[in-house]
Amino acid sequence: MESARPNAVRVRGFAATDAWHQRTLSALQALHQGWWLGWLDNRDLDDLARRQYSRWPRYCDDAYTASGLQDWEAEAVRAHFPAGGALLVGAAGGGREVVALARSGYRIDAFDCVAPLVAYGREALRRLGVSARLELAAPGRVPDGLGRYAGVIVGWGGYMHIPGGNARIAFLRQLRQHVDTGAPLLVSFFTRPGPSRRLDWTHRIARTLRALRRSADAVEYGDTLDRTFDHRFTRGEVEQELSAAGFALVSYAETPYGHAVGHAV
């Protein structure tokens, strides 16, 4: 029993200091993200995402591009999308979803706002023998000259990188113009279960700084900044944004990765 006492003290000591360490890190992250969300406007956040994605090597790697759909993506397509026809893929990056869907028999038009990824993707599609159209678009915008589609997929996590709920809804409304009633839309994102102290402080700091700067861009609760801008969603926010753009939520999941399917109404 005597030998167990020092060990118990050490265990309690670690637990106490580790809890303090985690709280300190969380506070520093909230301060860092809130500060920069306050100083960067939405256009800056768009530029930051393009810069970061152009520097991630995996998105310009043929093995990754040919790796296929994630399991949750494949299940969403199987459950909600027609077996064939033309699909539109936004935030397509270097073309991973494009390659997988084209090889499954779909006709694909796609777009992305990161010029190096579009350039790589066009060459990768050629090397992999995949016939698909990949266009460069402005951030949060759908390119001109597109047709009608049986469904729309916004590439893995791309939707959450658009800063501002109004901008996200405007983007979805542009997509809605290219599909008929009943057509499916797949979007994916980070989620949040509800309020947290970290998000409270991030939002408070960023909102205060933008107000002092008289920025025209509002900060929303759930906005974060970790290499890229990400908005973390609740189910209610996803449903509201889809509804405002002309889609009815029919499926929502938070695991293994947040995603939702809406049908055009």
In contact, 223 and 231? CB cutoff 8 Å: yes
CATH of the domain at 165: 3.40.50.150
Average pLDDT over residues 50-71: 96
- Is residue 95 assigned to a domain? yes
Tally the domains of the chain. Answer: 2
Residues 73 and 136 in one domain: yes
Length of the chain: 265
DSSP 83: S
23 pLDDT more than 50: yes
Q: Over the stretch 130-157, which tens digit does the pLDDT of each residue have? A: 999 999 999 999 999 999 999 999 999 9
- Is residue 226 assigned to a domain? no
- Is residue 228 assigned to a domain? no
Query: Which structural domain, as residue segments, surrounds residue 16?
Result: 1-39+195-219
- Is residue 249 assigned to a domain? yes
Query: 3-state class of 210 per DSSP?
Result: helix
Residues 211 and 117 in one domain: no
Exposed (0-12), middle (13-18) or buried (19+): which is 109, by Cβ within 10 Å? Answer: buried
pLDDT at 1: 46
Q: In what order do the strands lie in the sheet with 85-90?
A: 133-136, 106-112, 85-90, 151-154, 184-188, 259-264, 247-253
Give the pTM. 0.91
How sure is the predictor about 13, in pLDDT bands with cuts at 50, 70 and 90?
confident
- Is residue 1 assigned to a domain? yes
pLDDT at 2: 47
Residues 29 and 70 in one domain: no
Rounded to a whole number of angstroms, the CA Rg of the chain reads: 21
Q: Over the stretch 24-37, which tens digit does the pLDDT of each residue have? A: 676 788 899 999 99
Residues 46 and 33 in one domain: no
